[in-house]
Homo-oligomer: A and B are copies of this chain.
Amino acid sequence: MSTVIASDFSTRDRVAATAAPLFAERGFTGVSMRDIAEAVGIKAASLYNHYADKEALYFAALALVFSRRVALVEDALKATGTPRERLKAMVSALVQATAGDPVAARLLQRELLDGDIKRFERLVVDVFGRPFAHMTALLTELAPGGDGAQTAAYLISLIHGYCVFAPIFPALDPALTTDTSVLADNLAEELLGRMERPRP
């Protein structure tokens, strides 16, 4: 079937794009169809002209946001230069993709909490599989002795975890950095320092 009409296309996407930050902020059950409709500027019933039900709308929002995020990271992984430069570019892109896109980060977080794990695994493999493999390859290349995949997993965990905790860190210690570029620099330096001194 050929895709039909352009005008249909645009409202449909506008609905998903409008819904995404709402879902990110309040979660699936925390956002009503009426909330979304109001934000878009139409009535709730009209949403059903574009999506079969609330779940379909939710998945469309997820897909939209995650594909944007993946594109960002993939671009950075294509960077060329010295290994040092490539690693720094990758870490910054990852930090940027997490800290700079709170909607994506929160949706990911919520899916990790709420989602049916089997269904979500599929999404993760499809969407995050390739960037993860690229990261693993780069890290393995830089430190042939180490476990690139494991390091990548730690890296992702740390960045994501830090961005989640970021809002409350100042309350624990005002000196803690909330500047994400500092975070990126610290992590890149740390990784480089570790790799230049391979451990037994």
Contacts and interface: CB of A to CB of B under 8 A. Distances in A.
Copy count, this protein chain: 2
A63 B160 CA distance: 25
A147 B79 CA distance: 32
Interface of A: 26-27, 29-30, 106, 109-110, 112-114, 117, 120-121, 124-125, 128-129, 132, 136, 147, 149-150, 153-154, 156-162, 164-165, 167-169, 171-173, 175-177, 186, 190, 193-194, 197, 199
Q: Is the interface of A mostly helix, strand, loop or mixed?
A: helix
Contacts of A175: 147, 149-150
Contacts of A128: 172
Given A121-B171, A150-B175, A150-B186, 10 more contacts: A27-B29, A106-B113, A109-B113, A117-B167, A147-B175, A149-B176, A153-B165, A153-B176, A157-B157, A159-B161
